[in-house]
């Protein structure tokens, strides 16, 4: 597959899209309405505009399940659980759940430094930094409200392992919120300073659980993608 070279607008780091080295998505659950997948880090959720960005989770899964439809996205470098719909009715049902915040998600992250609080709440408005998009920025005046809850799981050798729960779903919310409190996520090409970026081989952010109402019958169901870091 063609390698696409881009530049991080903050740190001028080379970003190379290598979908062939990302690994294959893992199917966690499948039924007549839902397809639950664990997306690998390094794979786009949907095709990009560049010619070499056509391979994505969507295209890979549709080769096996032609009726699968994207409902939401994870960042290229973020791994973890995602849901795809297999019918038009399921797609509408799930789309409304995301819109109305009826879907609960938890993430695992490893961040730079020792987070002193056992748990906490980050409430910092965000907006796109338009001259440098897709980079996001904190803006108390013009930003949209963004809320993240966190729970400390472990501190080891100057790195803190956290459970993160986004209450809102802004682009790059977890990455920017952790940076804003002085604990950038390890391996973050866009936001982490060099030492935190180079400490690991990939972004240390993983979507671990996804809880939603099943489109058929409305039962509350939870899907889990174990974290590998």
The residue ranges of DSSP E strands in the chain, in sequence order, are: 4-7, 14-17, 26-30, 34-39, 69-70, 79-85, 104-112, 119-123, 126-128, 136-138, 147-156, 159-166, 205-213, 220-224
46 within some domain: yes
| Among 139, 148, 145, residue whose Cα is nearest residue 119 | 148
The stretch 89-113 carries a mean pLDDT of 98
Where does the pLDDT of residue 10 fall: very low under 50, low under 70, confident under 90, or very high at 90 and above? low
189 within some domain: yes
The stretch 152-180 carries a mean pLDDT of 97
Cis peptide before 139 (omega within 30 of 0): no
pLDDT value of position 7: 39
pLDDT value of position 6: 38
Spot the catalytic one: 12, 20, 67, 75.
75
98 within some domain: yes
Q: Is the pLDDT of residue 5 over 50?
A: no
**How many C-beta neighbours within 10 Å does residue 145 have?**
11
The stretch 89-95 carries a mean pLDDT of 98
79 within some domain: yes
**Beta strands 205-213 and 79-85: pairing type?**
parallel
List residues bridging with 110 in a β-sheet: 161
229 within some domain: no
Where does the pLDDT of residue 12 fall: very low under 50, low under 70, confident under 90, or very high at 90 and above? low
Q: What is the pLDDT of residues 125-150, one digit of tens each?
A: 999 999 888 899 999 999 999 999 99
75 labelled catalytic: yes
The stretch 47-75 carries a mean pLDDT of 95
Phi and psi for 64 in degrees, rounded to 5?
-100, -35
Please give the tally of structural domains in the chain: 1
pLDDT value of position 4: 35
The stretch 25-48 carries a mean pLDDT of 97
Task: Report the Cα–Cα distance between both ends of the chain, in Å, rounded.
Answer: 27
Query: Are residues 16 and 52 in contact, defined by beta-carbon separation less than 8 angstroms?
Result: no
Q: How many percent of the chain have pLDDT more than 70?
A: 95
Q: Is the pLDDT of residue 173 over 70?
A: yes
Q: Where residue 193 sits, what CATH number does that domain have? A: 3.30.2350.10
- Farthest-apart Cα atoms in the chain, separation: 49
Q: Is the pLDDT of residue 11 over 70?
A: no
Query: Are residues 211 and 102 in contact, defined by beta-carbon separation less than 8 angstroms?
Result: no
Alpha-carbon gap, residue 103 to 220, rounded angstroms:
10
24 within some domain: yes
Q: What residue numbers bound the domain in which 64 lies?
A: 4-224
114 within some domain: yes
């Amino acid at each position: 597959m063609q390698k696409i070279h881009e530049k991080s607008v903050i740190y001028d780091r080379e970003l190379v899209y290598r979908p062939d080295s990302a690994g294959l998505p893992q199917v966690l659950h499948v039924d007549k309405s839902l397809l639950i997948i664990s997306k690998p880090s390094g794979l786009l959720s949907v095709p990009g505009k560049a010619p070499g960005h056509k391979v994505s989770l969507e295209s890979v899964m549709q080769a096996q399940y032609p009726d699968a439809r994207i409902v939401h996205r994870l960042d290229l470098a973020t791994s973890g659980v995602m849901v795809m719909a297999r019918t038009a009715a399921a797609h509408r049902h799930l789309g409304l759940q995301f819109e109305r915040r009826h879907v609960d998600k938890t993430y695992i992250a490893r961040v730079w430094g020792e987070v002193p609080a056992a748990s906490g709440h980050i409430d910092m408005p965000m907006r796109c930094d338009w001259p440098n998009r897709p980079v996001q920025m904190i803006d108390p005046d013009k930003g949209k409200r963004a809320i993240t809850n966190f729970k400390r799981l472990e501190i080891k050798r100057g790195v803190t392992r956290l459970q993160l729960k986004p209450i809102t779903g802004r682009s790059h919310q977890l990455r920017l919120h952790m940076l804003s409190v002085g604990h950038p996520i390890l391996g973050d090409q866009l936001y982490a300073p060099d030492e935190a970026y180079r400490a690991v081989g990939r972004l240390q952010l993983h979507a671990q659980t996804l809880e939603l109402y099943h489109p058929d019958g409305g039962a509350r169901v939870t899907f889990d993608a174990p974290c590998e870091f």
